[in-house]
């Protein structure tokens, strides 16, 4: 019985109706906030452009940059960085431009799952979630479906080739 009460109390307190639920500094000016958000993103983008010598909006390298840019086929780009998350069937060659994260969307890929902000957006997981009827895998829930463990090397294949290291015989 004691346990029941404790659980019940926890459920109630989880609703956030206690005194912790409060607005501290008055109303937020939504329009102004949106303007500041866009400005902040714009500034980040400009800084990134300067730093990498690349115009992320027109998707072209800048002249006089410290970097030499080289196009590579889309299928060499790690899955994580491809803009089209749902076309998993298309494993053909994508153009280099396609294989980029779209910075005008703030580097975030628009998707119908955007409300599930806690799920990392790797394609595998997204596909997995579609199967599970958009249900967030909760702790303790037996998912039943075994999914391949994602290795860090899945994402860094491209980089590994660039590094000047003799390959191990096993590779």
Partner 1 sequence: MELLCLEMDTITRARPDPNLLRDERVLQSLLTIEERFLPQYSYFKGVQKDIQPFMRRMVATWMLEVCEEQKCEEEVFPLAMNYLDRFLAVVPTKKCNLQLLGAVCMFLASKLKETRPLTAEKLCIYTDNSIRPQELLEWELVVLGKLKWNLAAVTPNDFIEHIVRRLPLPEDKLALIRKHVQTFIALCATDFRFAMYPPSMIATGSVGAAICGLQLDSADQSQWGDSLTDLLAKITNTEVDVLKECQEQIERVLESSLREGRQQQQQQQQTQRGPSGKGLDELDQSSTPTDVRDVNL
Residues that bind partner 1 (CB under 8 A): 3-4, 7-8, 10-11, 13-14, 16, 18-30, 33, 36-37, 40-41, 44, 106-108, 114-115, 117-118, 138-140
Closer residue to partner 1 in complex, CB, 9/147: 9
- How far is CA 102 from its chain centroid? 12
Q: In the bound complex, what is the minimum distance in angstroms from residue 155's beta carbon to partner 1? A: 15
Taking the least distance from each CB to partner 1, the nearer of 140 and 166 is 140
CB 41 within 8 A of CB 34: no
Residues in the chain: 171
Among the listed residues 131, 129, 128, 103, the one whose alpha carbon sits nearest the alpha carbon of residue 115: 129
Closest approach of partner 1 to the CB of residue 39, in Å: 10
> Is the C-alpha dihedral spanning 91, 97, 103, 105 positive or negative?
negative
Find the shortest distance in angstroms from Cβ 48 to partner 1.
9
């Amino acid at each position: 019985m004691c346990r029941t009460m404790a659980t019940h109390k926890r459920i109630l307190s989880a609703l956030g109706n206690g005194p912790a639920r409060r607005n501290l500094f008055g109303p937020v000016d939504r329009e102004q906030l949106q303007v500041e958000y866009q400005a902040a993103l714009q500034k980040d983008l400009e800084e990134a452009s300067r730093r990498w010598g690349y115009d992320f909006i027109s998707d072209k390298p800048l002249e006089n940059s410290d970097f030499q840019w080289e196009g590579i086929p889309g299928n060499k780009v790690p899955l994580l960085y491809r803009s089209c998350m749902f076309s998993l069937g298309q494993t053909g060659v994508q153009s280099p431009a396609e294989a980029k994260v779209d910075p005008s969307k703030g580097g975030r890929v628009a998707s119908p799952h955007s409300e599930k902000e806690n799920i990392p957006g790797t394609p595998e997981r997204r596909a997995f979630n579609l199967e599970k009827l958009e249900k967030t895998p909760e702790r303790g829930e037996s998912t039943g479906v075994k999914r391949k463990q994602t290795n860090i090397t899945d994402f860094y294949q491209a980089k590994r080739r660039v590094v000047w290291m003799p390959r191990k015989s096993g590779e």
